[in-house]
A and B are shown apart, each in its own frame.
Chain A
Amino acid sequence: MSDGGIHPAKPFPEAAHLTLQDGQMRRNLGHATRTIRAKREKTVLELPDWEELREAGSSLKAHVMANLEPLLLQLEQSVTRAGGVVHWARDAEEARAIVTRLVQGTGAKDVVKVKSITTDEINLNGALEAAGIHTLETDLAELIVQLAHDKPSHILVPAIHKNRAEIRELFVRELGLPDLSDEPRELAGAARTYLRKKFLSAKVAISGANFAVAATGTVGVVESEGNGRMCLTLPDTLITLMGIEKVLPQWQDLEIFLQLLPRASTAERMNPYTSFWTGVHAGDGPKAFHLVLLDNGRTRVLEDEVGRQALHCIRCSACLNVCPVYERAGGHAYGSVYPGPIGAILTPQLIGMEHENANTLPFASSLCGACYDACPVKINIPEVLVHLRARAVEHKKAHSSLPTLEGSAMTVMAWVFGDASRFAFAQKLARLGQGPLVKEGKIGPLPGLLGGWTETRDLKQVPKESFREWWGKNK
């Protein structure tokens, strides 16, 4: 990693080669993602209008991207009117400097943090540590990662690669609790006790944001444990870092995302806690509120007509949980805080397709389409993957020699995935064991940079019936 949490240090095939040797991690991941997939099916099917909600989420996000400038200006105005201060950061470095300066201004030497991938994206903790400010992660999974000096491997559950026994061992060692069992309830209790005092004495908190409503200046954080509520309520100063794409036009729009997000991410009808605040509330909560709006490559993604849908992502992690490549390679193989299918399309676009390691990420997929079916805002991840593969090939062609075979396979895929009905047809063919991308009922071997890797790995068979087809028949 260079200056941020989104710069892969190795090409994907090389990084995956390493992670694939970790059998324990793969078993942990397989167990967790299987659990969530089974639960999710039930929670999603319970809603008769899931497809309509997805459509609404998708079209609303497209509307946001087309109106980003007026929405951001309106958001700034609303937050300011409510007593908050808005800051703008072009890149990671600028954002780190703003947050560091804000914390230094309070004189605090410790800050509490509620999980925010955006702060991981800009490597905020490192910058604060360098300035002599200690950051404490308060989300259970982030705490586990921090105590283990590890890296996050999932956007919702950053410590998904660790099982309960490993977590127990870590807590016994790092928190000095020899009598702890590996019961999840007891492990959660240990984190509660450990963090309670720190919450009560914290002067500054740093958070991310799931949504911000332009019309009212209302910012929202969706969480489970209550560490978010602690951070958003107890300290005197709250600093929230948010990507510019998270803005929503009006309060009413939450009716869509508060249904899509919890069901798609943790397979719950509703997550335990969601907090909304509007600027500063007299006598209740922080006395100072700062909202830092971050670009850091997002406007670069916006330029690409096909690729910009990656900005619609609401970070639910559903695409990770259904991805056969993610399940086997694990989150660390993606070398970025954004792993899995969304990472494969977001990371290279955020930092630029010329990044030699990042531009291998679009090949980290069997194009089975499960991510598209799972995505609550209908991001056509396979379409973007193929588009980015073509861009990577173009880049390679311009900068080195590339076998023509790869170029032609790319062209076939670009054609297949360039259109929804062609894609659906290809999926059908794949199940019948035919079609351009299939061998013995399996997708692969993958043409392209990952070819050598998939030849030796058993990639998931295309499901007999895609969720979309099932839905078409049964709704």
Chain B
Amino acid sequence: MSAKEAILARVRAAGVQSAASVARAYRKNSGWTRTEILEQFAERTAEYKAEVIRGRESDLTTLLEEVCFRRMLSRIVVPAGLNVDLPSSLTAVFDQPPLTPEQLETCDAVLTSCALGIAETGTIVLDGGPGQGRRVLSLIPDTHLCIVWGRQIVGSVPEGVAALEGSVRAGRALTWISGPSATSDIELSRVEGVHGPRNLVVFLLEEGT
């Protein structure tokens, strides 16, 4: 008997009776208004030590320039499909041909878009869609600059999970990010900064000028 057959035979022999149906009485929505959703997202993302910058679409180039100057960032990885005008003070590094991890290490930051944001938990989710690039791009550089559109933000985790169903079915990899890299391994207190980007800057943008 193969291991598979043996295990399944034992599972069958245990004869677990089918249980009552799954009780899904929890909340599906946050119950917040649009304005509250954006405010909560900004507040909760910042609570995990991400820098949150709110602005209009037309402000992005200026905001980027200001942040990169202040944080002393100049070489910025730009994934395919990201339609952003980088300020002339920055050097764009394209993932074409694919950058090696060593090359990524020489970059100061990566600028990506995202698939969505979740307000209740202060989370952004990347699914490798346009402007997000390969998973490694947002992992190696020490600063992750992420653009989130107001309309991309949902209130609750169930709403986020539902919105990502299509990506999962299409077989895309997801990365959920809530604040910069951190650890609770020393005395169970959260401190920022281990292996992932130690800095996370979120541009929360709304359409228009």
Contacts and interface: CB of A to CB of B under 8 A. Distances in A.
Nearest to B10: A299
A191 interface: yes
A63 B22 contact: yes
A137 to B, nearest CB: 12
A33 interface: yes
Contacts of A167: 186
A56 B128 contact: no
Nearest to B133: A284
A225 B196 contact: yes
Contact of A302 (B11, B184, B189): B11
Interface residues of B, number: 75
Given A88-B3, A284-B135, A251 B165 contact: yes
B195 A199 contact: yes
Given A185-B193, A229-B139, A273-B196, A244 B186 contact: no
B194 A266 contact: no
Interface in B8-31: 8, 10-14, 16-27
Contact of A252 (B4, B161, B176): B161
A295 B168 contact: no
A283 B19 contact: no
Interface stretch (A253-261, A365-373, A409-417): A253-261
A293 B17 CA distance: 23
Interface in A196-234: 196, 199-200, 213, 216, 218, 224-227, 229-230, 232-234
Given A188-B194, A299-B11, A139 B174 contact: no
A227 B195 contact: yes
Contacts of B84: none
A53 interface: yes
19 contacts: A52-B25, A60-B22, A65-B16, A140-B183, A156-B184, A157-B188, A185-B191, A188-B183, A195-B195, A216-B168, A233-B139, A251-B161, A255-B162, A268-B190, A270-B121, A272-B48, A272-B180, A274-B175, A275-B135
Contacts of B6: 90
A218 B166 CA distance: 13
B184 A157 contact: yes
B171 interface: yes
A163 to B, nearest CB: 6
B168 to A, nearest CB: 5
A284 B180 CA distance: 22
B136 interface: yes
A308 interface: yes
Contacts of B121: 262, 269-270
Of B2, B157, B164, B169, most buried by chain A (CB within 10 Å of CB) is B157
Interface string B38-59: 0000001000100000000000
Interface in A84-112: 88-90, 94
B99 interface: no
Contact of B187 (A31, A66, A69, A274): A31
A277 B173 contact: yes
A59 interface: yes
Contact of A35 (B12, B16, B19, B188): B188
B112 interface: no
Given A53-B26, A269-B120, A140 B185 contact: yes
